[in-house]
Amino acid sequence: MNASRYLAIIFAIVVLLGMNGTAQGEKKVLFFQTDWGRTGTMDEFCERTKAAGYDGIEVWLPSTEEEQKELMDALRKHGLLVGFLNGTNKSMPFEESLKAYENHLEKLVALSPMYINCHTGSDFYTFEQNKAFIDVANTISKEYHIPVYHETHRGRFSFNLPDTKNYLSEIPELIMNLDISHWMVVHESLLENNGEDLKEVISRSGHLHARVGHAEGPQVNDPQAPEWKLAVERHLDIWEEVILNRWKKKDTFTITTEFGPPTYMPTLPYTKVPVSDQWQANLYMMEIIKERLGLR
């Protein structure tokens, strides 16, 4: 049995184990921890993630079979689900990049992840070029019955709210991963006066990246600091609306806590010491979302 087939079987087992015991009709949120900034082994990371109360991890598929096996073993050992990342390589010519994007998606769906989150297209591509990436992803998602989400992200087709609305209007199958922290800085506001503009985005979002941004940046230095209370509450309001809307259609919703490491996490000058703790920030995100939704 080749490594890819073995991985697929194991991931399918992990998904079934992770979903076991969920009563039909019960509203549920599955929390995924980002491995962005991970130090140490995958096994150590998964052990810590499981102990913290997460249901899974979000990760780029490692490039080597050895690393893929390490990932598979750690997921199986600790009973964690997996969400994979995929992205458009903007350094390649368009046609080559599109083919690479499609090929990698095919490889990922064969491993039966819970979902795939994509950094899709480019802010310098035309509408039709970006649509080609979205169409490929949607076709594969439909064929394999695995959600493929397109993240709201700077530098991608979805780098701002007005353009994203156009894509949603023209592509009915497009489902977003809403990381609204990107838009807070792009639009230099908490989007307090854009409720109507956000309605379609909220209704078409199937996954969330729980990171708090602000008008001057995509990540506050510490979400527990009182000076960021308004920003945190604004994000929570939007996230809650997304989740409640999605629960009308599906019983299970997925969230990745995605505060990033230095230097995405602000650092002190010269020493580059992070001003707060990434792990604790992500745990806090999970805790306050559970509290908001009454999931404790």
Model confidence at 5: pLDDT above 60 = no
Can you spell out the DSSP letters for 204-272? TEEEEEE---BTTBSS-S-TTSGGGHHHHHHHHHHHHHHHHHHHTT-SEEEEEE----TTTS-B-TTT-
Mean predicted confidence (pLDDT) in 161-172: 98
Which amino acid, one-letter code, is at 146?
Answer: I
Confidence of residue 6 (pLDDT cuts 50, 70, 90): low
Tell the burial category of 149 from Cβ atoms under 10 Å away from its Cβ (0-12, 13-18, 19+): buried
Helices marked H in the chain — which ranges? 3-19, 42-51, 65-78, 94-109, 127-144, 161-170, 181-186, 195-203, 229-247, 278-293
Mean predicted confidence (pLDDT) in 48-69: 97
Q: What is the pLDDT of residues 8-27, one digit of tens each?
A: 555 555 555 445 444 557 89
For residue 90, the Cα-to-chain-centroid distance in whole angstroms is 20
pLDDT of residue 21: 44
- Assess contact for 210 and 243: CB atoms under 8 A: no
Nearest CA to 65 among 1, 12, 110, 7? 7
pLDDT of residue 20: 47
CA distances from 39 to 73, 79, 117 (A): 18, 21, 22
Q: Is 3 helix (H, G, I), strand (E, B) or coil?
A: helix
Nearest CA to 159 among 175, 174, 179? 179
Which amino acid, one-letter code, is at 296?
Answer: R
As a CATH number, domain 28-35+53-62+81-293 is: 3.20.20.150
Task: Provide the residue ranges of all domains of the chain, joining segments of one domain with +.
Answer: 28-35+53-62+81-293
Confidence of residue 7 (pLDDT cuts 50, 70, 90): low
Between CA 254 and CA 209 the distance in angstroms is 9
Instruction: Tell me the pTM.
Output: 0.92
Model confidence at 250: pLDDT above 80 = yes
Q: What is the pLDDT of residues 202-241, one digit of tens each?
A: 999 999 999 999 999 999 999 999 999 999 999 999 999 9
Q: What is the pLDDT of residues 84-112, one digit of tens each?
A: 999 999 999 999 999 999 999 999 999 99
pLDDT of residue 166: 98
pLDDT of residue 264: 97
Confidence of residue 296 (pLDDT cuts 50, 70, 90): confident
Q: Which residue did the predictor score with more confidence, 2 or 68?
A: 68
Report the DSSP beta bridge partners of residue 150: 118, 176
Q: What is the CA radius of gyration of the chain?
A: 18
Residue 79 Ramachandran class (φ > 0 left, ψ -120 to 50 alpha, else beta): left
CA torsion, ordered 11, 253, 36, 104, to nearest 10 deg: 50
